[in-house]
Chain A
Amino acid sequence: MLTYIVRRVLYMIPTVFLISVVAFIVINLPPGDYLTSMVAMQMEEGDAAAAQAQAERLRVRYGLGEPVIVQYWRWISGIVLRGDFGHSFEWRRPVSSLIWTRLALTFVLSLTTTMFIWIVAIPIGIYSAVKQYSIGDYVATTVGFIGLAIPNFLLALIFMYIGFSVFGQNVGGLYSPQYIGEPWTIDKILNMLTHLWIPVVVLGTAGTAGLIRTMRANLLDELRKPYVVTARSKGLTERRVIMKYPVRIAMNFFVSAQSNILVSLISGATIVSVVLNLPTTGPLLLGALMAQDMYLAATFILLLSTLNVISTLISDIVLAWLDPRIRYS
């Protein structure tokens, strides 16, 4: 088991390295850079010579004229050796001062949403499979399909309206306006928790619906396997038969589906975050990409991809722990 984990962690290093290369190259692919658009803007204001001179200074300072490989080396060595992720042109601040709170909030939001999905989907999925074609199964199926069919941003708008008109909450954001820019206190965290439910429910609905279907289908397959009859033939109670054997084995499929859930959560969250005005990574990454703010964008892509690689690793380790067939081969 330990060698398995060590091996998987070692595999991560080349993966993350490749991601960083691809991320950096893709960011550099569009013609021009942030400075070109900055100069173009200032030229319209009439101060062409000064703008050109300033752009030239910045270009030399950040090495933008040099080949991509040199730029990449400068960026990646800064990250690895000094924890320096580069400089955001648009915000005129170091990238590291911008990202960490947003990454942390994204992580909290994703984790809470995943928990929400599990807590809702696992029991309903088990119920739906064990009582196939019962009224409860049909209700779960119908609600599930509705959840899958409604676009998240629409759901977000509906919940914002409900939150505003019924609960009198201010629209959007992860906490009330008076806390914006304030240091983290217990009050701010509590305030955030009261706001968190909207994005969690919005982001979790589709995932929950999908997972109920997956859990139900996998469990239905397992319920027909001969080992279930064996378990019953021992004299176990029906509840114990189902929980110990088919549910346990259906969990394997479930766990291996989890790495995908985090990916879809983080990428799917962008639109919802824009609609709900959440201080997560999505909107900032979108802005950075549109403004060709290369270091900020590349850093986000690198860190989010790393997060996904880690979550895949975690789900693989859990899978190996659950399933001896993986552990021993």
Chain B
Amino acid sequence: MLLRKKIQYGRPGSAILDADAAGMRPENLVEVRNLQTHFFTDRGIVKAVDGVSFAVPKGKTIGIVGESGSGKSITARSLMSLIDPPGRIVSGEILLERQDGQIVDIARLDPFGSEIRAIRGADIALIFQEPMAALSPVHTIGNQIIEMIQIHEDLDDKAARDKAIDMLRRVDMPKAEQRIDAYTFELSGGMRQRAMIAMALACRPRLVIADEPTTALDVTTQATILDLLRELQSRDEMSVMFITHDLGVVAEIADEVAVMYLGRVVERGPVDDIFEQPMHPYTRALIRSIPKLGVRGRHRLEAISGMVPHPSNRPQGCPFHDRCPEFMPGVCDRIVPPLEKIGERRDVSCLLHSDVEALKAASEQETTSDE
């Protein structure tokens, strides 16, 4: 693992950018541009994230939606430069506005350097899916929360402990003074996730990445944890990147949505637009496959035909074409659709909404110039 240092990370050039040069919009906290994270395995390159672009607005929640294998978790990890070998970020930009207004390109930072370590936990924090596995089984939750505080803040043991108890109270942990000395196996699933959230929020990060934080919980606990996250977000004005496969959860918590398919963002926009006017056939299929309460009838729940292809076996052209009900032969299997802006904070990557002729001409020109 330490060997990774020998590989040249990022690309030449400074990771700290001028605000004007970066061209970031002031309402955004994070802008991800054409991010590519690939895994260099013995059996070939797996393009887990292959050209992802989206923005996280300040103080808002963005839901990242996709099936298993769509690259949403790898995208989240890329944002903290936490990619295990043989994977690494190969290109693209992850621009983050730090607390002091400085703009940093995380994709250019050494994943073992002190700059990224100062960002992890302080600017961006992670909440994981399975708190039982994501917290150490042999350390108390207090130990792990206090450690987080003491990495980033110059507090003595007593002050850090008081702060940790205070954090546990803020996430509505009952009997926080005693529970701080509890081990994870002594807590219920909901309480473990509260402890995880308390740890993530301990240093008041500006962005919290929640990677399916409610998947492992029962439905009632799920609802209370979602309420808690929403309440904490509005109180602290932090941004949340909520990763899930559950569109119902997204509708409830997100302000904006990015739909991912096979390592790419296929559609993004404000949550109401996405649900009322989905533009991409994949988004439409996802919305149709939500079970609806109160709809009587014997008809079966709609499912999307086929399976997500393995990222190492990506179809030519549009990655969704072999499952798409609106597949255009000769077009969708040839041309890779670009992410096109179709409105304010609204993009879609589908040839139904692109100027196909222009793209064809461009790709032909490319092939002739290659020859």
Contact = CB atoms under 8 A, between A and B. Distances in A.
A231 B82 CA distance: 11
B362 interface: no
Interface in A206-227: 223, 225-227
Given A238-B112, A245-B139, A324-B137, 15 more contacts: A225-B133, A226-B128, A227-B136, A229-B82, A229-B126, A230-B128, A230-B135, A232-B120, A233-B82, A233-B126, A235-B122, A236-B117, A323-B138, A324-B183, A328-B183
B130 interface: yes
Given A230-B134, A235-B121, A325 B185 contact: yes
Interface stretch (B145-153, B301-309, B314-322): B145-153
Contact of A328 (B3, B119, B133, B186): B186
Contacts of A229: 77, 82, 84, 126, 128, 134
Interface in B199-233: 199
Interface string A237-256: 11000101100110010000
7 contacts: A131-B1, A226-B130, A227-B137, A233-B125, A236-B117, A238-B1, A328-B185
Contacts of B183: 324-325, 328
Residue from A130, A226, A233, A249 with most neighbouring chain B CB atoms (10 Å): A233
Nearest to A130: B1
Given A134-B3, A235-B118, A227 B135 contact: yes
Contact of B2 (A130, A230, A322): A130
Interface of B, helix, strand, loop or mixed by DSSP: mixed
B1 A235 contact: no
A248 B3 contact: no
A234 interface: yes
Interface of B: 1-3, 77, 80, 82, 84, 112, 117-122, 125-126, 128, 130, 133-139, 147-148, 151-152, 183, 185-186, 199
Given A226-B133, A230-B134, A249-B137, A235 B2 contact: no
B119 to A, nearest CB: 7
Interface residues of A, number: 29
Contact of A131 (B3, B119, B186): B3
Interface in A54-112: none
Contacts of B139: 244-245
Given A131-B1, A249-B138, A324-B138, A235 B130 contact: no
B82 A235 contact: no
B138 A235 contact: no
A235 B153 CA distance: 12
Contact of B151 (A130, A236, A252, A324): A236
Nearest to B125: A233
Contacts of B1: 130-132, 223, 238, 242
A232 B117 CA distance: 8
A325 B136 CA distance: 11
A141 to B, nearest CB: 16
Nearest to B145: A234
B138 A248 contact: yes
Contacts of B82: 229, 232-233
B341 to A, nearest CB: 33
Nearest to A249: B138
Contacts of B126: 229-230, 233
Contacts of A225: 133
Contacts of A223: 1
Contacts of A248: 136, 138
Contacts of A226: 128, 130, 133-134
Nearest to A325: B185
A233 B130 CA distance: 15
B120 A233 contact: yes
A132 B137 CA distance: 25
B37 to A, nearest CB: 15
Residue from B3, B130, B136, B186 with most neighbouring chain A CB atoms (10 Å): B136
A322 B118 CA distance: 31
Interface in A179-206: none
A238 B2 contact: yes
Contacts of B138: 248-249, 252, 322-325
A263 to B, nearest CB: 27
B242 to A, nearest CB: 16
B120 A234 contact: yes
Nearest to A227: B136
B134 A227 contact: yes
Residue from A234, A237, A244 with most neighbouring chain B CB atoms (10 Å): A234
B121 A234 contact: yes
Interface in A104-152: 130-132, 134
A236 to B, nearest CB: 6
For the complex of A and B, 7 pairs with smallest distance between CB atoms: A235-B120, A235-B121, A235-B117, A233-B126, A234-B121, A226-B134, A226-B133
A226 B152 CA distance: 22
Nearest to B196: A230
Residue from A223, A230, A244 with most neighbouring chain B CB atoms (10 Å): A230
A194 B108 CA distance: 56
A229 B74 CA distance: 12
A254 to B, nearest CB: 13
A234 B151 contact: yes
A225 B130 CA distance: 11
Contacts of A242: 1
Contacts of A130: 1-2
Nearest to B143: A244
A22 B1 CA distance: 51
A20 B286 CA distance: 71
Interface string A242-277: 101100110010000000000000000000000000
A239 to B, nearest CB: 9
A236 B119 CA distance: 11
A226 B192 CA distance: 14
A134 B2 CA distance: 10
A233 B136 contact: no
Contacts of B125: 233
A249 B151 contact: no
Contacts of B2: 130-131, 238
Nearest to B147: A234
A306 B122 CA distance: 54
